[in-house]
Structure 1
Amino acid sequence: MTATAPPVAAPDASAAATARRLDPRRLARTGLAAAAGLLLYVSFPPRELWWLAPLSYALLGLALHGRRMRAGLGLGLVFGLAYLVPLLSWTGVDVGALPWLALAVAEALIMSLAGLGIAYVSRLPLWPLWASGVWIADEALRARFPFGGFPWGKVAFGQPSGVFLPIASIGGTPLLGFAVVLCGFGLGAVALRLRTVRDGGRIDMSTLRDRALAAAAACAVVPVIAGAATAPLVSDAPQAGTARVALIQGNVPRMGLDFNAQRRAVLDYHVRETMKLAAKIKSGAVKKPDLVLWPENSSDIDPYANQDAYDEITKAAQAVGAPISVGAVVTTADGEVHNRLILWNPKTGPGATYDKRHLQPFGEYMPYRGFFRIFSKDVDRAGNFVPGKKAVVFDMAGTKVGNVTCYEAAFDDVVRDQVDKGAQILAVPSNNATFDRSQMTYQQLAMDRVRAVEHDRAVMVPVTSGVSAVIRPDGSVAQHTGLFEPAMLLANVPRRTSLTLATRAGVWPEVLLTAIGLGGLGWAAARSRGRRRTDG
């Protein structure tokens, strides 16, 4: 009788899976991705730690290099959550955690695609270049999808100062972001190559002749050199004289989504501050401004339909003796509601108008209202605004003012359209009262500073509740107010007429940088197919 060997026990699949999850190297990579995301968040305003952003991408590069695509997807998600959950916390100030976390998770999921792509190209020669292109391609996607996109958190918007900022003038926010990311991935590649060289036991003078190390170092250093070399291109000099501009911050009676429950009070506050300015002009304490800028929603009472609002605005314009750009909520004859800027002449009343074109989803309008109501009744607090169709530049006492209303500052094309239309200065009237004292105001102000350099224009930021600011064409803040206080700013600002390379190039830098990323993905796919044929 033949003895039968006892069956060999099959390995416990769940135990093996647990061991993989607890692999110290995997945990270390996850920790690196999370640390990178948090570091990028810390680099953003209100802190001005722009130099942390390249270090963030160095850590992300170390986490993703050589990983499989599935791992890259997961690590990209970890990075995105660690970055976006704190960055977007202001979105939950008045509506709670659910909308805030839903937005952060949705954006992080799109960001995870970048992690997948970066991992895929990370084995290519000169991988920081291709990986940076993948990142910009992902930002381009986030700026357009879904619901018209949400570019908040683009790398460029965390660079309102520092060595990289001047690059915005030659390639806009895509090239500025690319430079930051390339520098970071270059630093990561240097660290990886030095580790390889060390493992080979030959850290000596020959290390300096290592081509891979030299290429990685170039990726890290060239963006810094480019920023320094571009700085002289940014100019504050007037090209068509100067304009004396007054910014009015009337404040609001209350914070939060119900700030406009006392809509007449908001209008009265802005009239009051303008009348104070008029009194100072009359007494000779200050020189009369050429133009006055009120914030978005400074008159949520429709001045076309309400004679009292019409009369109050006219009174303020006549008292100060200058045209006023008034932010109002207007209902047209056909029932459409617009977030509108109205050019109010002290002699002839309301004239040219600009209707906000890029509306904020879930705020100014509600996509799929019935569906989202399942999750929160707060959807019914969202507006029903209709977007405008074209750029409009106001001629205010001879100064061409390009209008960019609040949230629109996040979108490259909206700002560029106004400069192409002939704007000599830019105005970003905003209403941040909904978001209390959160970081939102400072994050948006950083965008405005980047836009100033991108298009070489002074940027005026009148805000209902602050922070209002006067931004020079070099991105520096000349004057600013505090939060939730009535205030006014008076400044002589340069009128600029020349167009930067970034303005002239339009969308092409983003297209070309995205093509670099897609080209890297295509090359990696071709190499992968070639290896499979060889192995087969």
Structure 2
Amino acid sequence: MVAQETLSGRQPESPPAPGPGVGRAAVLRRGGRAGWPRTLLAVAAGPLMWAAFPPQDLTPLAPVGVAMLAAALYGQRARTGAWLGLLAGLAFFLPVLTGIARIGPDAWAGLSLVEALYWLPLGALGALVTRLRGWPVWSAALWVADEALRGRAPFGGFPWARLAFSQTATPLTPYAALGGAPLVTFVTALIGGLLAYAALAVAAALRTHRASATAAPEEGSAGPEESPAGGGARVLVRAVWRAVWRPVAVAAAGGALLVGGGLAIPVPTGGRPVTVAVVQGNVPRLGLDFLGQRRAVLDNHVSATRRLAAQVRAGTVARPELVVWPENASDLDPYREADAYAAIDGAVKDIGVPVLVGALVDTPDGTKVENRGIVWDPRTGPGNYYVKRHPVPFGEYVPFREVLTKMIKRFELVPRDFAKGTRSGVMRLGPVDIGDVICFEVAYDQEVRDVARGNVLVVQTNNATYGRTTLPPQQIAMSRLRAVEHGRTILVAATSGISAIVAPDGRMIHRSREFVPDVAVAGVAARTGRTVADRAGAGPEWALTALGLGAAAAAGVLGRRKNEGN
């Protein structure tokens, strides 16, 4: 009875032994208001969730980590939950963002702390909703709400390492075709909540029967069958099972339905065939000074394209109908630098098909830089182009520049701010319309959704600064989820890797190694159909966010009424 009441969200009428679901009775003398067991549980949740992300790819650990955090939050006050959320956030973001350390340890620690702060409200509201029936559902919705906020503010947000991005090659991936990344996050967190629900039921039943066994000698009721020799262990197991079989069955059935539901969702695989080429020219060396290698990087991509043209003429490689170069393939402005223009134009004429060229271009007034993807035709030269709409704060532009550059000399590496683009990334490239996003724009739902009407999606990126860290494989994982979400082939072109070709169902057709020249030619599907996620847009995210926040508000009202009644 105690186990079932505790898990339904109601507090037992008589104060039981300290443990999950007891609220203030669970407070220990040390380890903060939550006590050491819950504190350690929350801290351990972070590394478990991190291990679910690339390159570790231990994907089942994501819901396990969510379950551990949910169990730590269960029955706690909001302020205690906020503290536990912060600890879990730090333990998660510090390892998942280690690639940022290439910029500097201070940048890595600072960004990790800022991202962990978003888990303060996640922990606080997550603790509140455990007072309600069905709390795993409301808790999962709060994960969506938290990621919605983190992906939008400040400076446009930083939606890296969302829970959904740990599930890009699992039975949960197809949910992206229905509700995008927010729905995948929700389902992943819901499985974690169900695991916590079952675990807390078992823990509560064990405490109850342990307390009964301890009290029995005092009442003189202990018998031979309650002792170890008399089969007391079997009695305990049977008693606990009678108390917990319902919540365990509910959790198991719910998890099975969610996993089975994902496997039953159809994802597209076919489409009009088109032959594409993705060029990874490579950089002379990794690090922050890749911009100082501008001519060498351009020459590498020109040479790789010319080698491809020679192979096509020799008949050893299929002739592509379009070619994609990465971001920063030319950091020499081809509109102003005659040598750069001639080098690019010569390579495009040699291959004889349109090439999407990543280049940095000065704005007309010379005060800013545009990060462009330029459609370069072998006959007419540079034509339509896309300008990155979401430049990286503190990397491609410096907020509060006059103040911060005096304090942090590293910002002098960004002498001019990058301009924000305003035009769509949907452009004609050879026989298809492409939807272009640049670098970490692939992490943003809206940016990718805006260009998903293209037949093929393109991600132009430069990972030279973060090469051989956790960040490039995490970016590939995002691209795999986007492929399923929008039912589109995705071409990822990176200067130094990882470049990739991803099928509409998320399968990897090609994946390059890092810091090697690589040219991939493949036949892919060009599609025009739209997924349910395309039609729904941001609707699922807003609906789940409202669900979570509404539940938290209801829990707060019920808590106040209960306190007033006492």
Whole-Å Cα distance in 2 between the matches of residues 105 and 85 of structure 1?
A: 8
Deviation at 1:253, TM superposition (A): 1.5
Deviation digits for residues 149-199 of structure 1, max 9, x if unmatched? Answer: 000010011112111111111000000000000100110011112233344
Deviation at 1:203, TM superposition (A): 3.4
Q: CA RMSD in A?
A: 1.8
Verify the 8 A CA contact 1:472 1:478 in the aligned structure 2. yes
Residue 99 of structure 2 corresponds to which residue in structure 1?
90
Residues 297-316 of structure 1 aligned to structure 2 (within 5 Å): 297-316=328-347
SS at match of 1:482: coil
Whole-Å Cα distance in 1 between the matches of residues 278 and 32 of structure 2?
A: 58
Deviation at 1:534, TM superposition (A): 1.6
Verify the 8 A CA contact 2:354 2:429 in the aligned structure 1. yes
SS at match of 1:414: helix
Deviation at 1:205, TM superposition (A): 7.0
Verify the 8 A CA contact 1:126 1:216 in the aligned structure 2. no
Whole-Å Cα distance in 2 between the matches of residues 135 and 208 of structure 1?
A: 27
Deviation at 1:49, TM superposition (A): 1.4
1:417 maps onto 2:450 in alignment: yes
Verify the 8 A CA contact 2:68 2:196 in the aligned structure 1. yes
Which one of 78, 82, 88 corresponds to residue 73 of structure 1?
82
SS at match of 2:461: coil
Deviation digits for residues 373-429 of structure 1, max 9, x if unmatched? Answer: 35521112135101101323121222111101111000000000001xx31111101
Amino acid at match of 2:420: P
Whole-Å Cα distance in 2 between the matches of residues 100 and 209 of structure 1?
A: 45
SS at match of 1:434: coil
Verify the 8 A CA contact 1:399 1:424 in the aligned structure 2. yes
Verify the 8 A CA contact 2:345 2:378 in the aligned structure 1. yes
Residue 432 of structure 2 corresponds to which residue in structure 1?
399
Kindly tell me: are residues 375 and 44 of structure 1, through their superposed partners in 2, closer, same or farther at Cα, counting changes over 3 Å? farther
Residue 28 of structure 1 corresponds to which residue in structure 2?
37
Which one of 243, 264, 276 corresponds to residue 229 of structure 1?
264
Residue 127 of structure 2 corresponds to which residue in structure 1?
119
Residues 384-463 of structure 1 aligned to structure 2 (within 5 Å): 384-419=417-452, 422-463=453-494
1:50 maps onto 2:81 in alignment: no
Residue 291 of structure 1 corresponds to which residue in structure 2?
322
Whole-Å Cα distance in 2 between the matches of residues 87 and 205 of structure 1?
A: 39
1:346 maps onto 2:378 in alignment: yes
Amino acid at match of 1:30: T
Kindly tell me: are residues 203 and 496 of structure 1, through their superposed partners in 2, closer, same or farther at Cα, counting changes over 3 Å? farther
SS at match of 1:429: strand
Q: How many residues align?
A: 510
Kindly tell me: are residues 130 and 265 of structure 1, through their superposed partners in 2, closer, same or farther at Cα, counting changes over 3 Å? same
Amino acid at match of 2:539: W
Deviation digits for residues 211-269 of structure 1, max 9, x if unmatched? Answer: x5555445434322221221xx112111xx21100111111122111112021111111
Residue 140 of structure 2 corresponds to which residue in structure 1?
132
Kindly tell me: are residues 515 and 218 of structure 1, through their superposed partners in 2, closer, same or farther at Cα, counting changes over 3 Å? farther
Verify the 8 A CA contact 1:249 1:463 in the aligned structure 2. yes
Verify the 8 A CA contact 1:185 1:220 in the aligned structure 2. no
Residue 478 of structure 1 corresponds to which residue in structure 2?
509
SS at match of 1:148: coil
Deviation at 1:454, TM superposition (A): 0.6
Amino acid at match of 2:201: R
Deviation at 1:32, TM superposition (A): 0.7
Whole-Å Cα distance in 2 between the matches of residues 429 and 137 of structure 1?
A: 29
Whole-Å Cα distance in 2 between the matches of residues 108 and 353 of structure 1?
A: 37
Amino acid at match of 1:528: G
Whole-Å Cα distance in 1 between the matches of residues 348 and 500 of structure 2?
A: 21
Kindly tell me: are residues 128 and 251 of structure 1, through their superposed partners in 2, closer, same or farther at Cα, counting changes over 3 Å? same
SS at match of 2:372: strand
SS at match of 1:20: coil
Which one of 113, 123, 147 corresponds to residue 155 of structure 2?
147
Amino acid at match of 1:461: V
After alignment, is 218-227 or 129-138 more displaced? 218-227
Whole-Å Cα distance in 2 between the matches of residues 235 and 276 of structure 1?
A: 34
Whole-Å Cα distance in 1 between the matches of residues 425 and 139 of structure 2?
A: 38
Deviation at 1:519, TM superposition (A): 1.1
Amino acid at match of 1:311: A
Whole-Å Cα distance in 1 between the matches of residues 466 and 57 of structure 2?
A: 21
Residue 550 of structure 2 corresponds to which residue in structure 1?
519
Whole-Å Cα distance in 1 between the matches of residues 132 and 248 of structure 2?
A: 14
Whole-Å Cα distance in 1 between the matches of residues 303 and 46 of structure 2?
A: 45
SS at match of 1:428: strand
Whole-Å Cα distance in 1 between the matches of residues 87 and 241 of structure 2?
A: 39
Verify the 8 A CA contact 1:405 1:428 in the aligned structure 2. yes
Whole-Å Cα distance in 2 between the matches of residues 318 and 345 of structure 1?
A: 8
Whole-Å Cα distance in 2 between the matches of residues 75 and 372 of structure 1?
A: 32
Whole-Å Cα distance in 2 between the matches of residues 400 and 261 of structure 1?
A: 34
Residue 379 of structure 1 corresponds to which residue in structure 2?
411
Deviation at 1:200, TM superposition (A): 4.5
Deviation at 1:533, TM superposition (A): 3.0
Whole-Å Cα distance in 1 between the matches of residues 98 and 258 of structure 2?
A: 31
Whole-Å Cα distance in 2 between the matches of residues 437 and 208 of structure 1?
A: 47
Which one of 220, 238, 242 corresponds to residue 255 of structure 2?
220
TM superposition score normalised by structure 2: 0.87
Whole-Å Cα distance in 2 between the matches of residues 225 and 262 of structure 1?
A: 50
TM superposition score normalised by structure 1: 0.92
Deviation at 1:21, TM superposition (A): 2.8
Residue 188 of structure 2 corresponds to which residue in structure 1?
180
Whole-Å Cα distance in 2 between the matches of residues 98 and 125 of structure 1?
A: 43
After alignment, is 22-31 or 356-365 more displaced? 22-31
Deviation at 1:207, TM superposition (A): 4.4
Whole-Å Cα distance in 2 between the matches of residues 293 and 56 of structure 1?
A: 39
Structure 1 unaligned regions, length at least 5: 1-17
1:107 maps onto 2:115 in alignment: yes
Verify the 8 A CA contact 1:251 1:465 in the aligned structure 2. yes
Whole-Å Cα distance in 2 between the matches of residues 25 and 448 of structure 1?
A: 39
Verify the 8 A CA contact 2:28 2:36 in the aligned structure 1. no
Which one of 48, 62, 69 corresponds to residue 39 of structure 1?
48
Amino acid at match of 1:358: H
SS at match of 1:509: helix
Whole-Å Cα distance in 2 between the matches of residues 31 and 487 of structure 1?
A: 45
Whole-Å Cα distance in 2 between the matches of residues 379 and 497 of structure 1?
A: 43
Kindly tell me: are residues 24 and 139 of structure 1, through their superposed partners in 2, closer, same or farther at Cα, counting changes over 3 Å? closer
Verify the 8 A CA contact 1:275 1:320 in the aligned structure 2. yes
Residues 360-375 of structure 1 aligned to structure 2 (within 5 Å): 360-373=392-405, 375=407
SS at match of 1:462: strand
Structure 2 unaligned regions, length at least 5: 1-26, 210-237
Whole-Å Cα distance in 1 between the matches of residues 196 and 74 of structure 2?
A: 9
Whole-Å Cα distance in 1 between the matches of residues 260 and 120 of structure 2?
A: 30
Whole-Å Cα distance in 2 between the matches of residues 257 and 205 of structure 1?
A: 59
Residue 203 of structure 1 corresponds to which residue in structure 2?
239
Verify the 8 A CA contact 1:48 1:161 in the aligned structure 2. no
